[in-house]
Structure 1
Amino acid sequence: MMASACSLHAPRGAIATTNPWPGQGLLGRWAQLLTELRIDVDLSGRDIQREFDALHDRIRTNHRTRDAMQPLPLHLRGLVFRLREADGEYFVYAIDPQRNRIVAYTVFNRLVEVDRRTDRHLRAPHAKVVDGYRRLGIASVIYRWWLDSGRSLMTGARQSAGAHGLWMALARDYELAAVRIDAHKRVQRLPLPPPPGFFTALDTRLVLVGRGCQLADFTQHAACGG
């Protein structure tokens, strides 16, 4: 079973936190500022379905992978969710039991850009959903499960437009912060709001803070122009 809380190895316990940016006005300003965030392209639904079908075949024929998958208590439109952990990374599969097919896949990757201290607290999520199952809230349910369990998220170097929109939606319920990864792999918290154009650099990221977690657990303060 997956460990939880601010450190990925701390005891489970979800403590509610409040978003320090109340109201939609400031979030709207953030959304405007973050339009310059590096946006990646999406794969076609057909490519994703082929990838998922091959993945499903490997899972069915590899008993170690199959036996390592654990059920998750998530409920959405009759889908079944399974979790697998390997080398500190976590894989969540959404399966349609009627079609016996994987329809969505989320991986919580380790960040090679950060130091060991930060690695205990943050993972970078990447989700893929096949056509016909998008806009059902699958990625949102999985991300909320992770955050509510007391674990935090950081964006990767790039985001799809859909992922960026999901982060903005989640920021209404979870603390959102801007950070920079410095040359020593430390995460520096940035003043808010950041100046326009700041998010064009590859070392700037967004963080969603999990329930009961504190940014101070894994960040340092940095001057905006530092």
Structure 2
Amino acid sequence: MAATPTVTQHKEAFINSQSRLLAGSVTPSQRWTASNERQSDGALDPRLVKAATEAVNTSIQEHGKRVYAPQANRALAEQIAQSYAAEADRKIRGEEEDEAEGIAKEVDLVNDKAIESLPNAWPSDKNATDHPEAAKRYADDVATLQALNEQRSEIRQRVEQLRRLQSRMEPLQATEAGQGIQENLVTRNGEVEKELERMRTLLVRVSGRLGKLSDGQHQPDMEPPAETRKLDIDNFLNDGTAFPR
């Protein structure tokens, strides 16, 4: 069963892979070579290009051997592993020690809870005494940050209210074709006004027709019986000329 790689081995493998990329040889691309060959005037001599490329690659290889040597990569990986271990030990010791020294570097100053947890004054009394200007600048920055955080919270609440209002107003929106609940609103030259005009015209026609039926069958001074009035209305409603289909 293979042993699990350590943090140092992981970091060393990553550094070696990146070192190989940086120490790799360079060659002119096919696109550049084709473009250089198509130029009738001012084209570079391929032999000069090859000689310059070889000189550059030689310098890169020498630089890689000096700077990216395996021993140097190993030392850098060990330093990174030690930094990880020191950070882990610092977190294990607890937050009280961190607060006595200052604010941890990993604190997210964009998070609401992190901003609210910031002390108003510099946590270390010794540093505040030794550096009063820096301590005052810290207090001013924290006050500004907390004020901006409150404004952001108010804006978020306002945005949520507007979104809820928008969702409730969506059923009242008209479609792209102009159809929707807006058609039922009383507006100038709107659908409701047109319908009222048609009803007014129809009522005039109905009143006129009923008046003609009453004048032709009864005396003006006499009130027609209820049965007669009902029969007149039924005849009118069944008349195809009054309500053309």
Q: Give the TM interval when normalised to the shorter protein.
A: under 0.3
Taking structure 2 as the reference length, the TM-score comes to: 0.16
Question: Considering only CA atoms, is the larger Rg found in Structure 1 or Structure 2?
Answer: 2
Greater helix proportion: 2
Greater strand proportion: 1
Taking structure 1 as the reference length, the TM-score comes to: 0.17
